[in-house]
Amino acid sequence: MRRAKHFFSYKLLRVLVLGSVLVIITLQFQLKKVIVIAPRINNIHLEILNNKNLLFLNVGQIKRSILANNMDIKSLTIKKIFPQTLELDYILRDPKAILSSPHGYKLLSEDGIIISQQTNNEQNLPVIETSSLNINSNNDWRLLKALTYLKLLTKLDISVNKIIQEDDLSVYKIFLGDNSEIIIPQNADPYLISPSLQLIIYRFRIEGKFISIIDFSYDKPVVTFKNGGKTLSLE
């Protein structure tokens, strides 16, 4: 009987010790502080960190969840600082254009990620316009190609106001800062078209001619001038 009593006391002691350890761990390593390191602070969603214990926190799972719920974050590094602090070091995607579609306005990054829904173009970014009902997801190839034209032409100091994606005609219509219009087949290579476009613009600018339309739908680009004249470019 005495032996059974001692065994029961020993088990009770183990339970009490284990319980005390768990309470200490819970209190000692309860996440209380999050340090955010970023070039600019956005309203990121961190609800997943509520009531987390730093000791048992799964960094990989937390990272995947934060990235999935914050599309404006491009990359993220998470560091535990014991006993009660978590450090988030992230880089934000830079908005490069506004997507205008039947679904409304969306902010686009250079890599084709839809960052957020917008009510207007308050940032005065170039607009990519589409009538397609199918474009409502990230990394659509048509958006990526339009963004590639935007990036390449910007590097060549060619100002772009709007790119209209005409799926029915399988072309892009690019409207430049001087209101000239560029027509490009969707299957064309942006890395070939962009330098060719630069040469055409500079050539006729030197000649003092004002371009209205450059159409790359033909074997040789066809240039229409604002005075109504037309020529086959020899670029």
Would you say the CATH fold of 95-232 matches that of 2-92? no
Per-residue H/E/C for 70-117? CCCEEEEEEEEECCCEEEEEEEECCEEEEEEECCEEEEEECCCCEEEE
> Is domain 2-92 annotated with CATH 3.10.20.310?
yes
At residue 174 the predicted structure's pLDDT band, cuts being 50, 70 and 90, is very high
According to DSSP, the residues that pair with 166 across neighbouring strands are: 171
Share of the chain above pLDDT 90, in %: 50
Residue 103: its pLDDT value, please?
76
Could you report the per-residue pLDDT of 108-120, keeping only the tens digit for each? 998 888 888 888 7
* Average pLDDT score, the chain: 85
pLDDT of 86 higher than 90: yes
Question: Residue ranges per domain, the chain?
Answer: 2-92, 95-232
**Cβ contacts of 84 within 8 Å, gap of 6 or more:** 28, 29, 30, 31, 32, 33, 54
Over residues 61-73, the mean pLDDT reads 90
Strands (E), 20-81: 33-37, 73-81
Q: What does pTM read for this prediction?
A: 0.79
Residue 14: its pLDDT value, please?
67
Angle, alpha carbons 35-41-47 (nearest 5°): 60
CATH number listed for the domain at residues 95-232: 3.40.50.11690
At residue 167 the predicted structure's pLDDT band, cuts being 50, 70 and 90, is confident
